[in-house]
Amino acid sequence: MKEQILVFNHTDKQTLGAVRCIPGLRAAENGDHIWLRGIAVSEKIDIRIRQLPALHTYFLDERNRLFPAGGVTPTGTLPSLSWQPLTTFISVELPVSVLPGKFQRPYIAQLVPSGQDKPGAALLVSLATWKAYAETAPEIRLQQVRFAVSEKEEVFIIGDLLPSIPGKEYWRHNTLLVPSGYDFDPPLITDIIEKKLNPQKGNLLVFHSSDEWELIPLSCFVPATRSAIRLTQVSHETK
């Protein structure tokens, strides 16, 4: 005898999961039954195999004849089946989530005072202040920033070396500008906000401490040359 053969009801297929990881086992479907082979008789049979709810137990000889346990007369031959490794025969399924339900209530993101010190990346100043600064500002400092002007005569200046003039400072997270001294609650929501409101990243998303926000296209920002600042004021005044 070379190996042991076990036959199970198809309904007991799940129980084979207990021996799935034992090497060498192969299984095949045969009508309402599952046949399992690959159990060497020369070795001590694993207790997990012996605990399986087998309908029939056979021993197979070299001529593929099936002998019942303890019998000396074969009762049949091994049918020709499509044998598969047990790891393939019983595939793994991910467990179902314990809490599969969705959180239906909307979460309101808000700005809250923060103690974190983050470097300023933008400055909101009045047009008059910006113009006065540009009159004598060193060229090398102007070259470090870009600016955009609103109809409300407010100037948004962006850059990593902001001018030292009175205004509201903002820190930057990718395309989000948040007032200095504030942060989102929770802080990690910034990426979600950006993905939702500015997916193409072609704008700056400016959040104000008054809970208002606005989109400023990046194309609105121009290099801060002295002439650009002076001419911007002229064109604004002639509206």
Residues making contact with other proteins (CB under 8 A): 135-141, 161, 164, 225-227, 230-231
Shortest CB 134 distance to other proteins, Å? 9
User: Which CB, 30 or 225, lies closer to other proteins?
Assistant: 225
User: Which CB, 175 or 232, lies closer to other proteins?
Assistant: 232
User: Which CB, 6 or 229, lies closer to other proteins?
Assistant: 229
**CA proximity to 149, closest of 174, 130, 165:** 130
Cβ-based neighbour number of residue 54 at 10 Å: 20
User: Which CB, 38 or 159, lies closer to other proteins?
Assistant: 159
Shortest CB 218 distance to other proteins, Å? 25
Contact in structure between 4 and 58 (CB atoms under 8 Å): yes
Q: CA-CA distance, 78 to 35, in Å (whole number)? A: 10
Shortest CB 158 distance to other proteins, Å? 17
Shortest CB 140 distance to other proteins, Å? 5
Shortest CB 138 distance to other proteins, Å? 3
Per 3-state DSSP, what percentage of the chain is helix, strand, and coil (rounded to 5)?
A: 25, 35, 45
Q: Which two tokens stand for residue 128?
A: 């008059």
What is the DSSP code string of 77-128? E------EEHHHHS---PPPPS------SPP--EEEE------EEEEEEEHH
Q: Which two tokens stand for residue 79?
A: 């049918």
Shortest CB 164 distance to other proteins, Å? 7
* Backbone conformation region of residue 203, classed left if phi is above 0, alpha if psi is from -120 to 50, else beta: beta
User: Which CB, 4 or 233, lies closer to other proteins?
Assistant: 233
User: Which CB, 81 or 137, lies closer to other proteins?
Assistant: 137
Q: Taking every pair of C-alpha atoms in the chain, what is the biggest distance, in angstroms? A: 112
